[in-house]
Amino acid sequence: MQYIVTGGAGFVGSHLVDNLISKKSDVIVIDDLSTGKYVNSKSKFVKFDLRRPVSLSMPKGAGIFHLAANPNVRESMQDTQEHFDRDVKATFNVMEMARKADCQFVIFLSTSAVYGDPKRMPSKESDPVAPISNYAHFKLIGEGLLEFYARAYGLKTVSLRMANIIGKRSDHGVIVDFKKKLSHNPDILELLGDGTQKKSYIYISDAIDAITVAARKSRAGYSVLNVGSTDNISVREIAAILEKKMGLHPKHIFKDAGGGRGWKGDVKLMQLDISRIKALGWKPKFNSKQSVERAVDDILSD
Ligand SMILES: NC(=O)c1ccc[n+]([C@@H]2O[C@H](COP(=O)([O-])OP(=O)(O)OC[C@H]3O[C@@H](n4cnc5c(N)ncnc54)[C@H](O)[C@@H]3O)[C@@H](O)[C@H]2O)c1
C-alpha cells in the first residue's frame, strides 16, 4: 500500500510516517518545510508548497493523510490570509489531488476546537459546531470539502476532530511554552489565561493509532470522528506536573485575554465523546494526566 502524508515533516506527521514505514509501507511525504524538520530517510520526500495546485504526478489509488497546516490558533486571529491559504486552500488542493489520483481515502486532521465553547460536554460529533478562532473555522471549511468530495466524487474521506496532541518532537503548545519560560526564568511562570482552562490531551502514540485505525476501519463515504482522552486536565495542573519534574516552585503570574482565556479564540473547556471511534476498535491507552506526564518527560529529555 502506498501512502501520501502531507505535513509529514511536522510533529504529528513525522510520527505517522515512522509508524507507516515500520509496517513496510511506501510513503511519500509532501511538506514545504515551513515549520517541519523531521524527514524520515526511508520515505520519498517531496518539498512542495500545497498552497499551489499540485502539479506532481502522484501514484493512483494511494491513501492520503492530510496534516499540512498552520496549527497556531493564536496567530490565526491576526494572520488570517496566511491561515486561510495554509488551512483551506491547501486542503482544496489536496482534495483535487485525491480526486485526480483516484485515491483510496483521505484522512484529514481537523480539531476539537470546531465545537467552540461547547453547550454540553463531552461533545459529540452530532453536536452544533461554533468555532471561535480562524484556525477552527478554517478546519471546519476543510471538513466541508471532505464531505463534498465524498458525496460528489465517491471518495472515502474522514475528518478527525483531534484533542491536543502532545509528545516528543512537539515544538508548540502549553508544555513547550512553559518549559521555555522556566528555562529562561525559573522563579516566575506566566500562564496564559486564568489557568483554569480544562482540555483533553492525547499522547502522540495514541493519536497515531487512532489515525491509522480511522484509515483502516472507517466506512465508505464521509465520516467525522472525535479523537481524545475521556477526561481533561487544567493548565494549572499541567504547570504543577512540569514544575515538580523540574524541581521548581515558581510564582505564577497570569496574562488573561478576557474571561480567563489565554488568547482570543482560546476554548476554555474541551472534552470529547469518543464512542464513535471506540466502536471502530480504538481507545486511548493514556488519560490526560498520564499523557501530560509522558510528554513532559519527552520534552525535558529533548
Ligand atoms: N498538535 C496538535 O495538538 C493538533 C491538534 C489537533 C489537530 N492538529 C492538526 O494536525 C496536523 C499536524 O499538526 P502538528 O502539530 O504536527 O503541526 P506541525 O506544524 O508540526 O506540522 C505541520 C506540517 O505542515 C507543513 N506545512 C505547512 N504548510 C504547508 C504547505 N502549504 N505545504 C506543505 N507543507 C506545509 C509544515 O512544514 C509542517 O511540517 C495539523 O493539520 C494540525 O492542525 C494538531
**Domain residue limits, the chain:** 2-165+200-227, 167-199+231-271+286-300
Domains 2-165+200-227 and 167-199+231-271+286-300 share a fold: no
Fill in the amino acid letter for 180: K
Q: Is the Cβ atom of 12 under 6 angstroms away from ligand 1? A: yes
Q: Which residues of 251-262 are buried (b: 16+ CB within 10 A; e: fewer)?
A: eeeeeeeeeebb
Please check the confidence at residue 302 and state whether its pLDDT lies above 90.
no
Ligand 1 centroid–CA 67 distance in Å is: 5
Cis peptide before 122 (omega within 30 of 0): yes
Ligand 1 centroid–CA 13 distance in Å is: 7
CATH of domain 167-199+231-271+286-300: 3.90.25.10
Report pLDDT digits (tens) over 25-57. 999 999 999 999 999 999 999 999 999 999 888
Report pLDDT digits (tens) over 144-203. 999 999 999 999 999 999 999 999 999 999 999 999 999 999 999 999 999 999 999 999
Q: Is the Cβ atom of 56 under 6 angstroms away from ligand 1? A: no
Q: Is the Cβ atom of 43 under 6 angstroms away from ligand 1? A: no
Ligand 1 centroid–CA 211 distance in Å is: 14
Q: Which CATH superfamily is domain 2-165+200-227 in?
A: NAD(P)-binding Rossmann-like Domain (3.40.50.720)
Residue 56, pLDDT score: 82
Residue 220, pLDDT score: 96
Instruction: Report which protein residue has its CA nearest ligand 1's atom 26.
Output: 68
Ligand 1 centroid–CA 9 distance in Å is: 9
Please check the confidence at residue 104 and state whether its pLDDT lies above 90.
yes
User: Which helix (H) or strand (E) is 106 found in, with range?
Assistant: strand 105-111
Mean pLDDT of 124-143: 97
Top mutation candidate among 5, 29, 30, 31 for ligand 1, by most atoms within 8 Å of CB: 31
- Taking the C-alpha atoms of residue 297 and residue 295, their distance in angstroms, rounded to an integer, is 5
What percent of the chain is predicted at pLDDT more than 70?
100
What pLDDT band is residue 58 in, cutting at 50, 70 and 90? confident
